[in-house]
Amino acid sequence: MHTILVINCGSSSIKYEVYRMPDRESIGKGLIERIGQDMGHICQKRPDGKVYDSNAPMPDHKAAMEHLKSALIDGEAGLISSMAEIHGVGHRVVHGGEEYSTSVTIDDKVIAAIEKNIELAPLHNPANLIGIREAMNQLPDCTQVAVFDTAFHQTLSPAAYLYGLPREFYDKYRIRRYGFHGTSHRYVSGEAIKLMKRHPSNTNVISCHLGNGASITAIANGKSMDTSMGFTPLEGVVMGTRSGDIDPQILFYLMERGFSKEDLNRILNKESGMLGLSGISNDMRDIEEAAASGNKQCREALDVYAYRIRKYIGAFAANMVRTDILVFTGGIGENSVKMRERICHRLESLGIILDDERNRENGNRQGVISADYSKTAICVVPTNEELQIARDTYEIIDGM
Ligand code: ADP
């Protein structure tokens, strides 16, 4: 049995989880928040209900990692008895550029590549690197593995990843579709294939990850063929606060009317999407509630959301020989019975037929929600990126 620590290090937070592999057993998880502020907070939970909760000064990630260690081996609510129990650490890394199409053991070359890709993910890769460096300092004898959000989409063909821009923009500036949420799409498509008792080598899946960020991916015979997010996570469907696809000329039009580059960056990433459209919230629950009590803007926001997702499903279906499975995941995909209904309504012409009762009864569990006669099976699969990272880390250690 191997003990694997999974780390998702952000600029002011660290999410972590400990797994026993290959049993896929989570023995607890935690969240450290407010790193860099006067007082940080760490909360760790065990499956038996034991909680480690503490406020402490966390001036930087080094201090946060020290607290993480204390929480892990705490006599009362710890997850392990000593740090020596940990065999490997799996790190979520947002951008692997074109360098990595699979998860890899971290060495100097990998660190250099993550550094090189900071220009493509300036908000995420630096924080991921800090987590890697701290974990390497504190657990020098462990295998450290990088699992990239972009890696799964490295199988896209030039037809799917090139933009209609001058060719030198790709050669010189590395502008292309990279895609994100790769670990989630890989996990849920794999689980859906198992659920339907099929084999990845002859199954085509369209996977809808609908959380605060959202993306749709077409997976043909186990390989990502196209995905809605692009050079950055801004492209694609309408999200919680991101606009998704817009006519790029809108930016120039607004610039001519006094909006700065910074304004537009903020508006498109933080003030648009469902928040901008509904005018009340980026949270799907609030919007569904307001729409149900007659709020017109919210009703329209829900229609835009579902329409855009259907558009991608249709486009991806048109580029695959057939679609065997449509899978929903993420906070909205897993929980919103109504949104799944809204999206699937009108997909009947593609042979994707929802069973309303199964959809309602399934709620947020893993299961099949399509009609028996639907050509495409529709599934709900709760995502588990941490487990996928633990699996990748275990496989690398096991193969050494
Ligand atoms: P993140 O991308 O931050 O991980 P999540 O995957 O947790 O986000 O998804 C958050 C979204 O899921 C929010 O818009 C939230 O409203 C929505 N959500 C969660 N539960 C429900 C529910 N029962 N019904 C509708 N939407 C839900």
- Shared domain check, 202 and 136: no
- Shared domain check, 354 and 212: yes
Ligand 1: centre distance to CA 365 (Å): 14
- Shared domain check, 372 and 280: yes
Residue 106 lies in a domain: yes
In b/e form, how buried is each residue of 173-184, taking b as 16+ CB within 10 angstroms? Answer: eebbbbbbbbbb
275: tokens are: 């928040």
Helix, strand or coil for residue 206?
A: strand
Under the banding of pLDDT at 50, 70 and 90, the label for residue 363 is confident
Summarize pLDDT for 303-314 with one digit per residue, the tens.
Answer: 999 999 999 999
Residue 200 DSSP symbol? G
- Shared domain check, 228 and 137: no
Q: Is 256 exposed, middle or buried (0-12, 13-18, 19+ CB in 10 A)?
A: exposed
Residue 397 lies in a domain: no
The CATH number for 291's domain is 3.30.420.40
With a Cβ cut-off of 6 Å, ligand 1 is lined by 211-213, 240, 283-285, 288, 330-332, 335-336
Ligand 1 binding pocket mutation candidate from 183, 207, 212, 359 (most atoms within 8 A of CB): 212
- Shared domain check, 207 and 144: no
Contact predicate 105/396, CB 8 Å = yes
**Last residue within a domain, chosen from 148, 170, 185:** 148
Check whether 239 is labelled as a binding-site residue.
Answer: no
- Shared domain check, 99 and 230: no
- Shared domain check, 72 and 140: yes
Summarize pLDDT for 206-254 with one digit per residue, the tens.
Answer: 999 999 999 999 999 999 999 999 999 999 999 999 999 999 999 999 9
Rounded mean pLDDT, 178-204 = 98
Element containing residue 394 per DSSP (H, E): helix 385-398
Q: Which residue numbers are catalytic?
A: 149
- Domain range for 70: 2-148
Check whether 206 is labelled as a binding-site residue.
Answer: no
Which atom of ligand 1 is nearest to 383's Cα? 6
Report the first-to-last Cα separation within the chain, whole angstroms. 15
Residue 391 lies in a domain: no
- Shared domain check, 204 and 144: no
Rounded mean pLDDT, 295-318 = 98
Under the banding of pLDDT at 50, 70 and 90, the label for residue 387 is very high
Question: In angstroms, rounded to a whole number, what is the distance separating the alpha carbons of residues 31 and 47?
Answer: 15
- Shared domain check, 351 and 203: yes
Strand order, beta sheet including 143-148: 51-56, 40-45, 25-33, 14-21, 2-9, 86-93, 143-148, 104-105
Contact predicate 40/26, CB 8 Å = no
- Shared domain check, 21 and 143: yes
Ligand 1: centre distance to CA 44 (Å): 22
| Number of separate domains in the chain | 2
Predicted pLDDT of residue 400? 86
DSSP string, 261-330: HHHHHHHHHHS-HHHHHHSS-S-HHHHHHHHHTT-HHHHHHHHHHHHHHHHHHHHHHHTSS---EEEEEH
Rounded mean pLDDT, 162-166 = 98
Residue 188 lies in a domain: no
Report phi then psi at 276, rounded to 5. Answer: -65, -45
Summarize pLDDT for 57-101 with one digit per residue, the tens.
Answer: 999 999 999 999 999 999 999 999 999 999 999 999 999 999 999
Check whether 334 is labelled as a binding-site residue.
Answer: yes
119: tokens are: 């220009």
233: tokens are: 């996570």
Residue 308 lies in a domain: yes
Query: Residue of the nearest CA to atom 13 in ligand 1?
Result: 283
Q: What is the mean pLDDT of the chain?
A: 97
- Shared domain check, 345 and 214: yes
Residue 345 lies in a domain: yes
**Kind of pairing between the strands at 25-33 and 2-9:** unpaired
Ligand 1 binding pocket mutation candidate from 8, 287, 332 (most atoms within 8 A of CB): 332
Question: Does 393 have pLDDT greater than 90?
Answer: yes
Ligand 1: centre distance to CA 336 (Å): 8
Ligand 1 binding pocket mutation candidate from 209, 335, 383, 386 (most atoms within 8 A of CB): 335
Under the banding of pLDDT at 50, 70 and 90, the label for residue 108 is very high
Element containing residue 165 per DSSP (H, E): none
Which atom of ligand 1 is nearest to 330's Cα? 6
Question: Does 293 have pLDDT greater than 90?
Answer: yes
**Last residue within a domain, chosen from 148, 182, 207:** 148
Residue 388 lies in a domain: no
Closest of 213, 223, 95 to residue 150, by C-alpha: 95
Predicted pLDDT of residue 204? 98
Residue 185 lies in a domain: no
Ligand 1: centre distance to CA 100 (Å): 30
Ligand 1: centre distance to CA 286 (Å): 10
- Shared domain check, 207 and 136: no
Predicted pLDDT of residue 95? 96
Question: Does 364 have pLDDT greater than 90?
Answer: no
In the chain, count of helices (H) and strands (E)?
15, 14
